[in-house]
A and B are shown apart, each in its own frame.
Chain A
Amino acid sequence: MRRGGQVDREQSPPRLDLGALFDAHAATVYGYAARRVGRDLAEDVTSEVFAAAVRSAATFDPERGTPIAWLMGIATNVLARHWRTEHRHLETLEQVGSDPLTTAKVPAFDGAVIDAVHARAVASVLAEMPAADRDTLTLFAWADLSYDEIAAALDVPVGTVRSRIARARERVRDRLGDKSWEVEGDGHD
């Protein structure tokens, strides 16, 4: 993952090179948002994130976190407003076995080990997971943020991040290990 967004500390307030910031992180923000709410809505979310970043550039403090952590913090707040949409898609995947975000829109991921049963299980657990745990887990697994970056993004201690991720992973693990899912799933969807 590219990490960029130059900060000129000689300026007061600190000035972000927003062009570099965009070049370095737009794809990451977009990709993360796309996995949560789909590609269409991800464009809006990403635009909102960077528009907010532009307006709030003066508030960025490099000592408190990396630019990507700052952006992902904004993205988390923006995505929170789309939870109903996200939840609906997750529920659809869980119940129907077909992901509205991926069906006939993008090619399947080659070489993936995940199958339909897994996907339904993941959707199920993400749909019911507390928002804080979900945000933490997805920033870790999908945005590839470090614990420190997640802590900065969500403005929580690193220890909290660790406990959230551990708890969330356990929930996913338990759900994946629940054989009832394989019975419940039709196995060919």
Chain B
Amino acid sequence: MIDELTILREFRAELAVVDAAALERIRATVQGVVELDAVQRAGRGDDDLGEPVYVARPNGHAGSSRPRRHRLLAVAAAVAIVAVAAGALAWNGLRDETGVANSSSAPLIADPAPAGLDLMGPIFGSIESHTVYTPGGDPPLGEMLSLAAMDISSPKRTSREEVVRRTMSAGDFHEVAFSVDDGYLAATGRGMSQDEFIEAVTQATVDRLGRPTLPWSARPAGWSEWINPDAADSTFDERIGVAYFDESRYPTGISWQQWSGSVDDLARTIELELPIVEICGRGAACEAATEGSSATVLGRWPEVDDEPVGESDHLATRMVLTWLEDGRRITISSFGSSLQELYEIARSLRPSTWEEIEELTADPDPTVDTTRDLGTTETTGGSMRSSD
């Protein structure tokens, strides 16, 4: 008789085998965080850097960030960017999962092919953002799967409300509604698994365009993490985002977490850290989310396209850049600009932005004890570096 503990201990035991390469990647990521912290602390002229933190390097020697202070200062901007890209912010990252389906058994009900379909090939060849999401919640949305992909360089984009509308009007179970217009592909389905859905949409694109067009290889593994179960039947205005960018895994893509609630809720739920600081592009959702929050909205992002101000229905087009600032995670976002443009803007704004951030966040609420979230409850009082 095999006891249950033996079975439990063997369950997925093969996954626990040490992966040296993975550990080195993790070490590099953590090291990046340590070094960036040191850069930021030095950058604000803090002579008392406190005890340096050490993360052993692969050669076995511990490396202190302090001796490298000046050199790191000289490349602070680059480090900030690289550290973000290298995985300091690898939260729920997109991954290179192969998701291409080779066959389709799901019946399709497709909208008539829109005009200009021939243009979709090159357009979707440059997709910079796509998402798979399931609103969840009660039927009929509960079993809905929806995919939206868009080319953010397209001057015209379909709003997310339109995607929701199309989703709501989708047929019965085991259907996929499929439409392509304005640099935007939207597909919805119900009553099927994610894989079935992707298979069906892939087949639909083959049927329409003669080839699969969506970059399924970059489909997010963590798609379900984006679901806001509490806002199943809400508009997207109720959602706010904390975004990250992971260049190492998805060179041209962005992702974001969307939840209802306040920015502080997001910070506690997602970031593990003290309140985030976010520069919002626009949108009532951002305003509402930060109202009364200890997070600081640093400013409104310049309008970069011709969409009316005040709409918050283009979250899918938001480009973001996030970095660490004194233990905090800073996110800036932009609508309609390319990531490269965002980088350039961030770089150009960085000196003053950094100063502003420092000024605005110099006195975090000392009563906020996030250590419980970190599993360090009742240790030594919850001092965090940012409040040192």
Q: Which residues of A contact B (CB under 8 A)?
A: 11, 13-15, 17-20, 22-23, 26-27, 30-32, 34-35, 38-44, 46-48, 50-52, 54-61, 64, 70, 72-78, 81-82, 84-85, 88, 99, 101-102, 106-109, 112-114, 118-119, 122-123, 137, 141-142, 153, 155, 169, 172-173, 176
Contact = CB atoms under 8 A, between A and B. Distances in A.
A38 B381 CA distance: 34
A14 B53 CA distance: 12
Interface stretch (B167-175, B231-239, B371-379): B371-379
A20 B56 contact: yes
A155 B16 contact: no
Given A22-B55, A55-B385, A74-B374, A84 B92 contact: no
Contacts, number: 210
Interface in B9-41: 9-19, 22-23, 25-27, 29-30, 33-34, 37
By CB atoms of chain B within 10 A, which of A31, A32, A72 has the most?
A31
B87 A47 contact: yes
Given A85-B221, A99-B12, A107-B14, A11 B51 contact: yes
Contacts of A17: 54, 62
Contacts of B106: none
A82 B90 CA distance: 13
B19 to A, nearest CB: 7
A102 B380 contact: no
Contact of B379 (A55, A60, A82, A118): A60
Nearest to B193: A92
B269 interface: yes
By CB atoms of chain B within 10 A, which of A23, A52, A101 has the most?
A52
A88 B377 CA distance: 30
B380 A141 contact: no
Interface of chain A: mostly helix, strand, loop or mixed: helix
Given A48-B272, A77-B272, A112 B13 contact: yes
Closest 7 CB pairs of A and B: A73-B375, A19-B56, A31-B16, A61-B379, A114-B10, A34-B15, A74-B375
Given A47-B90, A58-B383, A64-B379, A142 B16 contact: yes
Interface of B: 2-19, 22-23, 25-27, 29-30, 33-34, 37, 51, 53-56, 62, 87-88, 90-93, 95, 97, 221-222, 224-225, 227, 269-270, 272-273, 327, 371, 373-385
Contacts of A112: 10, 13
Given A47-B87, A61-B379, A78-B272, A122 B374 contact: no
A70 B375 contact: yes
Contacts of A119: 11
A60 B375 CA distance: 10
A35 B376 CA distance: 23
B91 A44 contact: yes
A155 B373 CA distance: 11
Given A56-B384, A112-B10, 11 more contacts: A30-B26, A31-B15, A34-B12, A35-B11, A35-B12, A40-B97, A51-B33, A55-B327, A75-B375, A123-B11, A155-B378
Given A26-B26, A31-B16, A81 B270 contact: yes
A20 B16 CA distance: 20
B225 A57 contact: no
A142 B16 CA distance: 9
Contacts of A81: 92, 225, 269-270
Contacts of B53: 18, 54, 57
Contacts of B62: 17, 19
A122 B7 contact: yes
A108 B37 CA distance: 41
Given A84-B227, A155-B378, A44 B90 contact: yes
A39 B15 CA distance: 7
Contacts of A26: 23, 26-27
Contact of A108 (B14, B222, B382): B14
